[in-house]
């Protein structure tokens, strides 16, 4: 009878999650959202007794997807480190200016939210990848396996009745 996932189910789920992990990392790169690579390096899969899960080790993919809401001060040191990449034409002449720029960016995000949040347009780094279209092959494989198992169980039950 159908119950907890067996080794075959767990392997199907593990493969699906690993494909999704790699697709999210590729999407992050394609969309220009990769800065230092720490979020991609910390994205991992974990097997559980019920299947598995995709774990955002840095907790930043939500902000990459939807932006940061106003209200809370973003991590100032992360912005300071991000400035090292000199993206978007942001420049400074010395460390004092870099610190001041990081502080101004953090305060602006605290007041108004990040650019992605203000635009109200998700980046798609997660939503484009974690989609029903990508989930369907896994569901079909599991449905096919269990359809055969249920049919076998029903045939066995009918044979016992005769």
User: Using one digit for the tens of pLDDT, what is the confidence trace for 102-121?
Assistant: 999 999 999 999 999 999 99
Q: pLDDT tens, 25-42?
A: 999 999 988 888 889 999
Whole-number pLDDT of residue 1: 41
Phi and psi, residue 44, nearest 5° = -145, 165
Query: Does position 2 have pLDDT exceeding 60, yes or no?
Result: no
Whole-number pLDDT of residue 154: 81
Helix (H, G, I), strand (E, B) or coil at 51: strand
Helix (H, G, I), strand (E, B) or coil at 104: helix
**pLDDT-above-90 percentage for the chain:** 51
Report yes or no: 34 and 87 within 8 Å, Cβ to Cβ. Answer: no
Dihedral in degrees, nearest 10, Cα atoms 96, 100, 106, 112: -170
Residue 130, exposed/middle/buried by CB under 10 A (0-12, 13-18, 19+)?
A: middle
């Amino acid at each position: 009878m159908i119950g907890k996932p067996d080794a075959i189910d767990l392997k199907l789920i593990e493969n699906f999650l690993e494909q999704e992990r790699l697709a999210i990392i590729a999407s992050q790169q394609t969309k220009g959202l990769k800065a230092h690579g720490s979020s991609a390096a910390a994205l991992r899969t974990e097997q559980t007794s019920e299947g598995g899960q995709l774990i955002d080790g840095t907790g930043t993919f939500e902000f990459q997807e939807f932006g940061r809401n106003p209200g809370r001060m973003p991590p100032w040191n992360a912005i300071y480190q991000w400035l090292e990449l000199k993206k978007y034409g942001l420049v400074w002449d010395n460390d004092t200016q870099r610190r001041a720029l990081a502080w101004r960016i953090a305060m602006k995000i605290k007041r108004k939210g990040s650019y992605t949040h203000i635009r109200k347009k998700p980046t798609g780094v997660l939503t484009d990848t974690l989609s029903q279209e990508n989930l369907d092959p896994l569901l079909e494989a599991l449905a096919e396996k269990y359809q055969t198992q249920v049919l076998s169980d029903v045939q066995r039950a009918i044979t016992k009745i005769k």
